[in-house]
Structure 1
């Protein structure tokens, strides 16, 4: 089973710079990005989407997030919205629809099952804390004008600039700098290296 923690950050909600991040519990792999303007909901949903996209294959994937909104969008509300032609129970439009539809497609395209688990934030969970740190650093990069086009989200909040796809073979300099900064403090190095401690809590049998 692959376990990944995700988080999003918005420096001024709505409309401020945002960041997203995910970190795998085994092996210390992680990634992060952001945009110059957005909402905390967009940041949290993008973190979930990027985590699913980064972990294809047959192995069960468990994504942990401290955002009840993001978890419930992906695991509780999505099917109902689809049945109602992407309308809410009150008949209104689903917010952040493009992102939620992208999450739906990513789950459907993955051979292995995807599950979601809410965790309380800022209570010493090392993976949640590290994802929070990475997302915050990404948002700070964008607020300071150091963001790169490769960091942009697949979906933009209303009024945001249009998204731009990342170059497949090049990591933005700001993202690389974030990796090194976080790695120096946490012992995690690079997108595919490093080690992280095992959590002290029990996972349970979410895939039974």
Structure 2
């Protein structure tokens, strides 16, 4: 006879759906980032901004801040409308790292500080991430909300919030 109550249970990582977006008024200029995180019927919105930045930096910051907001390893479906971030993290980063953070043309990788921060976060977090591209400004409700949050981030950077 076995005592099933004494058997350890293995809990599955929590599944989180994330939508991220970045915005910039001028490139460079004041910028903002936003993210919508949803899990188990609960949603959380986060956003921020800074002056003198670029759209690509804000797109990356949105992803970094969203993943950093997760307090334990999760299974993540992450939607983003930035091909730069998607290809950078799923294709290009391996070569950049192998070449000492240089491109195939031997130029320094742009936004290397953020790429290194994102890379370190992915290594240390234990998250399993399914990266999914979504066309921006095309009616996807999650992407539209992330875009609105990114624009709130611009307003915050400008001191209007």
Tell me the TM-score normalized by structure 1: 0.66
Asked whether the equivalents of residues 63 and 117 of structure 1 are also in contact (C-alpha less than 8 Å), the reply is yes
After TM superposition, the runs of 4+ consecutive aligned structure 1 residues lying more than 6 A away are none
Distance apart, 1:68 and its partner CA: 0.6
Give 1:20's match in structure 2, choosing from 10, 23, 33: 33
Shift of 1:115: 3.0
Note the aligned Cα RMSD (angstroms): 1.3
Higher strand share: 2
Q: Which residue of 1 aligns with 2:126?
A: 111
- Matched residue count: 145
Deviations 1:31-65 (A, max 9, x none): 00000210001100000111111114232112110
Give the TM-score taking structure 2 as reference length: 0.85
In structure 2, C-alpha distance between the alignment counterparts of 1:101 and 1:88, rounded to whole Å:
14
Q: Which has the larger radius of gyration?
A: 2
Partner of 2:16: 2
**Within-5 A mapping of 1:114-125:** 114-125=129-140
Higher relative contact order (CA 8 A, sep 6+): 2
Q: Which runs of 5+ in 2 are unaligned?
A: 1-14
Q: Residue 88 in 1 paired to residue 118 in 2?
A: no
Q: Which runs of 5+ in 1 are unaligned?
A: 147-173, 175-208
Whether the 8 Å contact between 1:8 and 1:19 is mirrored in structure 2 is yes
**Matches of residues 102-181 of structure 1 in structure 2 within 5 Å?**
102-143=117-158, 145-146=159-160, 174=161
